[in-house]
Chain A
């Protein structure tokens, strides 16, 4: 891997980790409410996949969507402003964490419904096919969503119509509190791809290089008009299902073990320095830049006006 690509991936991953940590602090300070779902531990997937996407490619995301949003190029200030309920937020305070969208960058939204984005990404890919462009759509979802009918129906539609869509399943080991071993009768979720007649690839989601390489091939293939694909990345969420989750379904040993054993940021730093693509000091400098950028973003967000009152019917309907 070339140095600029490696450093870009690292920067995006660091940005995501920092965002999740900072959002957690803001929540603890009582500045956010509702619920947030941390993507910490899964950064390599969003970074590795979105590195291949253009601004006019589409993604659909999940309730655990901050990472996809950042990797697709969102403005951090507008993301924080949304969490803080400001008019300057991406959704003008109407959506919150679970609904952040950035249509200018092709992000068709986080989604509070497990599996809700999968048919939508499929439809976006239909648009590309219909209009004869080389755009692609990527749907991110978790292991939980892989058991929704929405996935099965969409994968079949995409395959019979050869749509340029990549289904990216982030297997973070739990659907809310349900361990994958109790939710699947198969060991390899990617083996389902065969049932739809599309390639299925399984990668180690902690290795951003593996994600990057696999996604690159599948996205290029879709862009060439060769149809959909299913990418499963094994990963682990460092936090609970949501901020404040008591995690009664996990042992302390498991949590601590995974956190230390499975940290894509630690891994990425290690291989970048071992391959002599950058020094530790250079990576530290990126970390410092990310922190400064984030502080500016939060300050900008906090200075923004509160979300304006609901305006009817215009907030709900384009015309009425």
Chain B
């Protein structure tokens, strides 16, 4: 990062990206529940109603299918809508419009259409919201040809990736994490773009590669610090965007460290970590000194009780333990 920066919360950085893009392009509108006076369930759109008014900050009834579908139609006809879906767990209500419509219109119509829309939503556990408000569902979306899937872990990436997502001509599923909104970081001022499809080496290392995204990036960095105290240097790669995937960054790192650990909060079965492990096994098998490992959520809904919630998703000490097993 060069140039002026400012310390911001993750949710403020997202709000700044929205504000700047709405100032830049009148075709950008925001649709969603509680996004007006209330400022959004996680205060991302705070202040935008005053600045842009109710026609561009369009607060909607609780109609996820209708809202997302309206965004698809608006995107097809010239707007660049950004939908805020309050919880990723609600995306099932809108899935037809995402999977059968937005994702496929370009292909089905032989290239006649484009669908420049963003669906922002958030997922993840750690706040006692229990099973219907805490899932990590990125694998659902990565499995659909035609969607892009983005998951920022830092305030700067949140701003830069959201800006790129809004300017992108394809439908982008933009997945935030509820426990990242109040994390702080330096964020470049003014126009700032992080390209979709570029991973970020959040920490360089030589002994193993940790591929991760969203909140587990923070856990992995903390774990890497603990590992370093024991003389193990972990490289932490934040994918940032799952689709498109920066395969080159993953493969190049594994070819140097010879060990792969994928860490994500979503449950392991059918998770995107399997895709990363498979790519590495297919393309860099001979470079590996150990089988790829996945550390991910247990195959369970997220439980409510505070002492239970942490037991079902990878924690810092879990990452340290598995990393040590991998390099042993």
Contacts and interface: CB of A to CB of B under 8 A. Distances in A.
A91 B73 CA distance: 18
A311 B110 CA distance: 11
Nearest to B94: A119
A318 B168 CA distance: 8
B74 A127 contact: yes
A119 B65 contact: yes
Given A156-B63, A157-B63, A319-B168, A90 B97 contact: no
18 contacts: A95-B109, A119-B72, A120-B69, A120-B73, A120-B97, A121-B73, A123-B70, A127-B73, A153-B65, A156-B63, A157-B70, A313-B244, A315-B107, A315-B111, A316-B145, A318-B170, A319-B168, A319-B170
Interface residues on B, range: 35 or more
The 6 closest A-B pairs by CB, nearest first: A119-B69, A123-B73, A153-B66, A92-B110, A91-B110, A120-B73
Interface of A: 58, 60, 89-95, 99, 101-104, 108-109, 111-113, 116, 118-128, 130-131, 137, 149-150, 153-154, 156-157, 160-161, 313-320
Nearest to A102: B112
A90 B145 contact: no
Contacts of A320: 170, 197, 244
Contacts of A123: 69-77, 81
Contacts of A125: 73
B106 A316 contact: yes
Nearest to B74: A123
Contacts of A91: 108-110, 112
Contacts of B68: 119
Contacts of B61: 153, 156-157, 160
B105 interface: yes
B118 interface: no
Contacts of A116: 96-97, 100-101
A124 B75 CA distance: 8
B69 A112 contact: no
Nearest to A120: B73
A304 B300 CA distance: 53
B53 to A, nearest CB: 12
A128 B29 CA distance: 13
Contact of A113 (B67, B75, B100): B100
B92 to A, nearest CB: 12
A113 B95 CA distance: 12
Contacts of A119: 65-66, 68-70, 72-73, 97
A92 B60 CA distance: 37
Nearest to A125: B73
Contacts of A120: 69-70, 72-73, 76, 97, 101
